[in-house]
Amino acid sequence: MTTKGIENVNPQRFVKKTKREVTTQEEDESVKDPIDEREIFDLLRDISDPEHPMSLEELNVVQITNIEVDDHQNSVKVFYTPTIPHCSMATLIGLSIKVCLLRSLPPRFKVEVNISPGSHASEEAVNKQLADKERVSAALENSNLLEVVNQCIVKSLE
Amino acid sequence: MVTPTSIQKLRDSLVLQESMSEAISIVSQSIASKDITVLQLVENLQPELLHQQAAYRCRAVSTIASILEQLTPDLKGINEKEIDLITEFFCSKLKDHHSIVPAALHGLHILSSASRLSPGLARSIAQAIFQDVHCQSQLQHDRRTIYKTIKNLLALHIGELQVLGQDFVFGLIQAADQERDPRNLLILFSIFPVVARYFRLEPFTEEFFEVFSCYFPIDFTPPANDPYGVTKDQLCEGLRQCLASSAHFAEYCMPLLQEKLESDLVSAKIEALKTLELCCLSYPPTQLEKWIDTFWKCIRREVLINVNTEELEHASLDALAALSRAFATNGEFNNLAFTKLLKEILSECQGHLCEPERRLMTPSSYVLLAICSGNAPACALIVSQVIPLLTEQCRIRSQSAPRQFILNCLNKLVQAGLYGFTEIDVAQSGIYPLIPALLELYLEVLKEDDALLRSLSLQGLGHFVGIGMNHEDLEKVNQSLLGLLQQPLTTGHTVEEIGLFFYKCAEQNESWFVEQVLVKLLDMAISDKANEIFRLLRTLPPLPRIRAQVLSQLMARLEQSEPELRLEMLKALAYFAQHDELQMFHQLHNWALETLKEGDPPVSLEATCNILRKLASSLSSEDAKQFINEQIDRYIDQHLTSSAWVVPIMEATLGSLDAIPVGQNLDKLIKTLEPLTVCHPKTDVRISACRLVAALINKIPEGHELESILDSLRTKWQDPSADRSKTVCLFVWISKALLMRSYSKLDQSIQELVESLNDPTHGYLVAEGFKTILCETEQCLNFDSHANIRLMYRQRFFQEVVPRLLKLYRESPSCNKSACFAAIANQLAFIPEGVLVAHITTLIPLLIQCLNLEQPDQLIISTITAFMGLISDNVSAIEEYISSLVPRLLTLAKDGLTMEVRRLALRCLSELRKAQSVVLLPLRSEVILRLIPCLDDKKRLVRREAAVARQKWTMLGQAGCE
């Protein structure tokens, strides 16, 4: 994968956010912390890009402002922005985000992963693929794809 | 001729095919003591040596070789002539039946390690081996003997072998060609470089190169449980040395490396780059220049175009640095090819450097830095072109992020320009004319509000201290730093960076620093930035003049300051206070006593005690005795009557001195402290008193006096009417003091400790005391405070106490089980792994039982922490228990009462990924399923751990995660 055909050799990079500070509320046993945008962002920020040794946060692919969470209605929506409009890795990045969320969020949530409107040439097709449960699980049956997805996610766990 | 008895015995056992080791050692001893000669031995063994059956002859030859082996290294008792004959004998045996060859080779190997071979022998051995033995049809072991023989001959008699010239090279090629065993290859890889360096290889250069280059790049995975311990790294390193061993290989090696650089295998590329790095040292520039463009293409692809693992990127940059070093010349560039390439690289990288917000900026700066690192003229060119460019970029950009990238890069280049070379070269590195502009830029940035940019600028300025910055500049910088310190927004990180800068200045020129900076700093220490200033003082180097200045100023101000400021001041004092400060000790001691009042302790008490302790422990024993004699009465009769908070001060001084009160003083002191240890209402005073008594007990010599004190204390802690929760503390501290000094009646104390665990209400408190007993305490009973400490007291305690705890647990069903568990768990963190492993099989099942919702949280936490320690140090020790551990952790993760327990259980589950997959896989589906509820825990911190643990277990055994 690394030897040939990188599409965007020189992408723009961004400065990383600092770690979320632990509040006294979070340390208080009796308070229930709701699942919020920042929590979702923290799950995703360190996933690495399949092309670059940089995180999705550094490339501005995932931004906290593009995440919508409703803890009561059990919905999580993530809009991500590929670095260039014809990026062929877009589906793969979306898949990594989706897989990461499916593994680490409670099953009560309906997880939607979409490309930010207007940021990719084949936006609709990719969104459709990512929304299709069957296709997502079929993709993960493919050991090559699974390997790439896992490699992207594994760095976010260190 | 009479056969000597020893040889007769040898022959007998040879014929009878018995074990011969005894006979062999007798004969070799007789040869060493010159009772018999080797010739006698050979002559007497003639019937066997000439026997019709090869097996007999083989045994005889091998017996002689074994006898020789006993006489190595200098073949004791054998003269030159005999060595000649015996060598000839073994050489001739190579022509004998094939089954005898190994024994003969063994003999020759032994002879080859002797330095006393007469001229010509080494040559004959080599010739005989090359002519009469077909190396590759021998067994692995015998090939190894051949290679070791050659290695020995090369090491000791290389001159003789050189005479053989081409014949030797050819012989070696034939012997070594197609060797497959990694153990043998390791030996060969150490032979080849020697041959390449000292022998004329023509006309076999290419053939010789082929013999080892065919292994490149090494692909070898040692078998599981390999007893020989040959690693891939060793082989790679050996082969690299061979490839780079001679400039004559360049024409074959360069194409080989280029081919591997084009390959798809990352490991092959890395190997090729590392080899290239080494070749650059030995190959002349004339050979390298033909290939430099090709190699740059490959390196450029790895660093600038592809995105790679760090290892490959590092290897690429190292290779580039080595190439640049190979073309380094003292003066100007005189290599056209390199100059042309350098210009090309520079213009490409300059383009990227002008786009600091994009990814390639950083890698291109690495490329330039790599070239700088080896080559002074190239560095001068790069520095003089790139620094102005970056300075300008930094000026025209307004956003913080790109400017951070620029400053980072600029700092590295400045460092390369200033420190890359020796002093003389700095002048040539081209950075001098740029310094004024750089300083101006850094100072401008320093005035801005962005803390990140400011600290980057400070880092840059730090490089100039002592090199490239004159007094005027330095004053200017210091002025702005002092100004910066007074601004309200300057805090935390920036203060630290300023401290680092001042540290460098102070180290460079102490007296200048004291006069110009320190005085002003101390003046500022009364403003509202005083806290920051004191913190900064603590980062300065404790040089004599700085110390004297700070100490005298702070001691003078201590009395007038605000209480909060005092804390910071005391911390600064503690940093600068060193040994031999008797005067300061008395001054501070008096001051501390004066600050005491009835009621709450002064806020500065703890900090003051810390300094007092440090100073007290460094007093000489004479000063200490004098202090004790003067103070005891005053402590007891004056100060204690007005405030109980004098106890911590007494502990800090009396507990740390290199002397103890004696006679009446001791008696009086103990009598006064005794009631405080169990009855005083303030916990801190009580514990402090306990510690002081323990520190004294630890130092009193064994005997009647100690016994009577202990007896009296024992009545205190065994007193049934006293509050048990308070007496336990005294009991624990006294046990610790006795344990550390290996008190002769320790056994009794340990037994009492174990029995008191049974106390249904306070057993758990005693178990917590186990932690106190084993931990390092800062206040007393440590090496600094002259405590009486025997080595390895922790291990001894653990060995003593564990069997008793187990006995208690097993034999008395009514015992306080949770206290028992806790006592074990609390010890684990302090016991070295080696000792722990011996007990692991008995302890782990017990510890697993502690992981139970009914146990107290504290116990669960310390048990999980113990398990995590084991997992990170020695996961294989607990692998067989994982299947019973995991379900318990899962229960705790879901239903643990406190979030600390849930988080730790989850983290422990994540850590278990370190164990072998084979052990974990059967548990995978259960873990993934049972972690689902944890993902919805009400606490965010728990959810985070759950997400990590669940992802790790999900990926277990999947592609891309091993």
Residues 356-415 of B with CB under 8 A from A: 357-360, 400-401, 404
> Residues B525, B533: contact at Cβ < 8 Å?
yes
B105 confidence band (pLDDT: 50, 70, 90)? very high
CA distance B386 to chain A (A): 20
Sorted by where each begins, the domain ranges of chain A are 34-157
**Amino acid at the residue A80:** Y
Q: What is the Cα–Cα distance from B818 to B839, expressed in whole angstroms?
A: 19
**Amino acid at the residue B39:** L
**Mean pLDDT comparison of B227-236, B818-827, B864-873, highest-scoring range:** B227-236
B347 confidence band (pLDDT: 50, 70, 90)? very high
Longest dimension (CA), chain A: 54
The predicted structure's pLDDT at residue A116: 93
Nearest beta carbon to residue B358 from set A13, A51, A100:
A13
Would you give the distance in Å from CA B672 to the centre of its chain? 49
**Amino acid at the residue B85:** L
Question: Is B939 an 8 Å CB contact of chain A?
Answer: yes
> Of B56-70, B132-146, B590-604, which range is least confident?
B590-604
Would you give the distance in Å from CA A2 to the centre of its chain? 21
Compute φ and ψ for A80, nearest 5 degrees.
-115, 155
Q: Which two tokens stand for residue B377?
A: 């003229």
Burial category of B693 from C-beta neighbours within 10 Å (exposed 0-12, middle 13-18, buried 19 and up): buried
ipTM score for this prediction: 0.94
> Of B23-27, B98-102, B177-181, which range is least confident?
B23-27
Residues 292-351 of B with CB under 8 A from A: 304-310
CA distance A124 to chain B (A): 28
Nearest beta carbon to residue A11 from set B308, B310, B358:
B358
B167 three-state secondary structure: helix
The predicted structure's pLDDT at residue B32: 83
Residues A127-149 pLDDT 10s: 999 999 899 999 989 989 999 99
Asked if A104 lies within 8 A of B951 by C-beta distance, the reply is yes
Compute φ and ψ for B724, nearest 5 degrees.
-60, -35
- DSSP secondary structure of B791-860: TTHHHHHHHHHHHHHHHHHHH-TTS-HHHHHHHHHHHHTTS-HHHHHHHHHHHHHHHHHH-STTS-HHHH
> Of B168-182, B379-393, B580-594, which range is least confident?
B580-594
Nearest beta carbon to residue A53 from set B307, B400, B936:
B307
Residue from A9, A22, A89, A142 whose CB has the most chain B CBs within 10 Å, to mutate: A9
Is the pLDDT confidence value at B621 over 80?
Answer: yes
Task: Read off the DSSP letter of residue A55.
Answer: B
Nearest beta carbon to residue B307 from set A15, A52, A149:
A52
CB within 8 Å of B195: residues ≥ 6 apart: B154, B168, B169, B172, B201, B208
State the CB neighbour count (10 A cutoff) for residue B419.
Answer: 12
The predicted structure's pLDDT at residue A5: 57
B34 confidence band (pLDDT: 50, 70, 90)? confident
The predicted structure's pLDDT at residue B743: 83
Residues B243-253 have a mean pLDDT of 92
> Residues B678, B723: contact at Cβ < 8 Å?
yes
Q: What is the Cα–Cα distance from B33 to B23, expressed in whole angstroms?
A: 15
Spatial strand order of the sheet with A75-80 comes to A67-70, A75-80, A110-115
B955 confidence band (pLDDT: 50, 70, 90)? very high
State the CB neighbour count (10 A cutoff) for residue B358.
Answer: 17
> Residues B342, B293: contact at Cβ < 8 Å?
no
Q: Are strands A75-80 and A67-70 parallel, antiparallel or unpaired?
A: antiparallel
Residues B427-481 pLDDT 10s: 666 788 888 888 889 988 888 888 888 888 988 988 888 777 778 888 888 888 8
Q: Which two tokens stand for residue B48?
A: 């066997």
Question: Is B952 an 8 Å CB contact of chain A?
Answer: yes
- In the block, tokens 């590759």 appear at B136
Closest CA to B730 of B694, B758, B705: B694
> Residues A22, B941: contact at Cβ < 8 Å?
yes
CB within 8 Å of B149: residues ≥ 6 apart: B105, B108, B109, B112, B125, B129
Q: CB pairs below 8 Å between A and B: how many?
A: 105
Q: What is the Cα–Cα distance from A83 to A119, expressed in whole angstroms?
A: 8
Q: Which residues pair with A48 in a beta bridge?
A: A55
> Residues B586, B594: contact at Cβ < 8 Å?
no
Q: What is the Cα–Cα distance from B409 to B365, expressed in whole angstroms?
A: 7
Question: Is B962 an 8 Å CB contact of chain A?
Answer: no
Asked if B305 lies within 8 A of A54 by C-beta distance, the reply is no
Q: Which two tokens stand for residue B473?
A: 């500049």
Closest CA to B372 of B338, B310, B325, B405: B325
Q: Which two tokens stand for residue B274?
A: 């590392």
Query: Could you tell me which residue, B118 or B19, shows the higher pLDDT?
Result: B118
- In the block, tokens 């180097």 appear at B541
Closest CA to B773 of B726, B823, B727, B723: B823
Q: Which two tokens stand for residue A18?
A: 């600092």
> Residues B833, B861: contact at Cβ < 8 Å?
no
**Amino acid at the residue B479:** Q
Residues of chain A in contact with residue B397, where contact means CB-CB under 8 angstroms, are none
Q: Hey, CA dihedral for A139, A145, A146, A148, is it positive or negative?
A: negative
A3 confidence band (pLDDT: 50, 70, 90)? very low
CA distance A105 to chain B (A): 6
Q: Which residues pair with A67 in a beta bridge?
A: A78
**pLDDT-above-70 percentage for chain B:** 97
Q: Which residues pair with A70 in a beta bridge?
A: A75
Would you give the distance in Å from CA A151 to the centre of its chain? 14
Q: What is the Cα–Cα distance from A118 to B548, expressed in whole angstroms?
A: 68
Residues of chain A in contact with residue B959, where contact means CB-CB under 8 angstroms, are 143-144, 146-147, 150
Asked if B960 lies within 8 A of A147 by C-beta distance, the reply is yes
Closest-CA residue of A relative to B935 is A106
Residues of chain B in contact with residue A26, where contact means CB-CB under 8 angstroms, are 939-941
A4 confidence band (pLDDT: 50, 70, 90)? very low
- B21-34 in b/e form (b: 16+ CB < 10 A) is eebbebbbbbbeee
Q: Which two tokens stand for residue B127?
A: 């010739």
Is the pLDDT confidence value at A1 over 80?
Answer: no
Closest-CA residue of B relative to A71 is B936
State the CB neighbour count (10 A cutoff) for residue B96.
Answer: 17
State the CB neighbour count (10 A cutoff) for residue A149.
Answer: 27
Nearest beta carbon to residue A2 from set B308, B358, B944:
B308
Residues A17-31 have a mean pLDDT of 85
Asked if A13 lies within 8 A of B938 by C-beta distance, the reply is no
Residues of chain B in contact with residue A149, where contact means CB-CB under 8 angstroms, are 960
Residue from A1, A2, A41 whose CB has the most chain B CBs within 10 Å, to mutate: A2
**Amino acid at the residue A113:** V
**Amino acid at the residue B954:** T
Task: Read off the DSSP letter of residue A48.
Answer: B
Asked if A10 lies within 8 A of B940 by C-beta distance, the reply is no
State the CB neighbour count (10 A cutoff) for residue B281.
Answer: 10
> Residues A44, A62: contact at Cβ < 8 Å?
yes
Is the pLDDT confidence value at A2 over 50?
Answer: no
Assigned CATH topology for domain A34-157: GMP Synthetase; Chain A, domain 3 (3.30.300)
Q: Which two tokens stand for residue B323?
A: 């190439």
Write the CA distances from B705 to A49, B660, B711, integer angstroms.
Answer: 74, 13, 10
Asked if A35 lies within 8 A of B943 by C-beta distance, the reply is yes
Question: Helices marked H in B33-139 — which ranges?
Answer: 38-44, 46-49, 54-71, 80-93, 101-112, 121-132
State the CB neighbour count (10 A cutoff) for residue B331.
Answer: 8
B186 confidence band (pLDDT: 50, 70, 90)? very high
Question: Is B948 an 8 Å CB contact of chain A?
Answer: yes
The predicted structure's pLDDT at residue B425: 58
Closest-CA residue of B relative to A151 is B960
Asked if A12 lies within 8 A of B308 by C-beta distance, the reply is no
Task: Read off the DSSP letter of residue B700.
Answer: S
Q: Hey, CA dihedral for B440, B445, B447, B448, is it positive or negative?
A: positive
Asked if B358 lies within 8 A of A107 by C-beta distance, the reply is no
Residues B665-682 have a mean pLDDT of 86
Question: Helices marked H in B376-470 — which ranges?
Answer: 376-396, 400-419, 423-428, 435-447, 451-464
CB within 8 Å of B940: residues ≥ 6 apart: A26, A33, A35, A39
> Residues B678, B725: contact at Cβ < 8 Å?
no
Asked if A33 lies within 8 A of B940 by C-beta distance, the reply is yes
Nearest beta carbon to residue B359 from set A10, A22, A100:
A10
- B656-666 in b/e form (b: 16+ CB < 10 A) is bbbbbbeeebb
The predicted structure's pLDDT at residue A35: 93
Residues B577-590 have a mean pLDDT of 78
CA distance B928 to chain A (A): 9
> Residues B207, B173: contact at Cβ < 8 Å?
yes
Is the pLDDT confidence value at B922 over 90?
Answer: yes
Asked if B936 lies within 8 A of A106 by C-beta distance, the reply is yes
Closest CA to A103 of B197, B961, B683, B668: B961
Nearest beta carbon to residue A6 from set B305, B951, B959:
B305
Average pLDDT, chain B: 86
Residues of chain B in contact with residue A53, where contact means CB-CB under 8 angstroms, are 307-310
Closest CA to B601 of B631, B637, B644: B644
The predicted structure's pLDDT at residue B598: 63
**pLDDT-above-90 percentage for chain B:** 27
Is the pLDDT confidence value at B294 over 60?
Answer: yes
Q: What is the Cα–Cα distance from B315 to B270, expressed in whole angstroms?
A: 6
> Residues B785, B746: contact at Cβ < 8 Å?
no
Which CATH code of 3.90.550.10, 1.10.760.10, 1.25.10.10, 1.10.150.120 fits the domain covering B832-962? Answer: 1.25.10.10
Nearest beta carbon to residue A146 from set B400, B933, B959:
B959
Is the pLDDT confidence value at B424 over 70?
Answer: no
Nearest beta carbon to residue B941 from set A13, A22, A105:
A22
Asked if B400 lies within 8 A of A15 by C-beta distance, the reply is yes
Asked if B308 lies within 8 A of A157 by C-beta distance, the reply is no
The predicted structure's pLDDT at residue B345: 93
B96 three-state secondary structure: coil
Would you give the distance in Å from CA B575 to the centre of its chain? 27
Q: What is the Cα–Cα distance from B843 to B885, expressed in whole angstroms?
A: 13
Residues 266-285 of B with CB under 8 A from A: 266
Residues A57-104 pLDDT 10s: 988 999 999 999 999 999 999 999 998 888 888 999 999 999 999 999
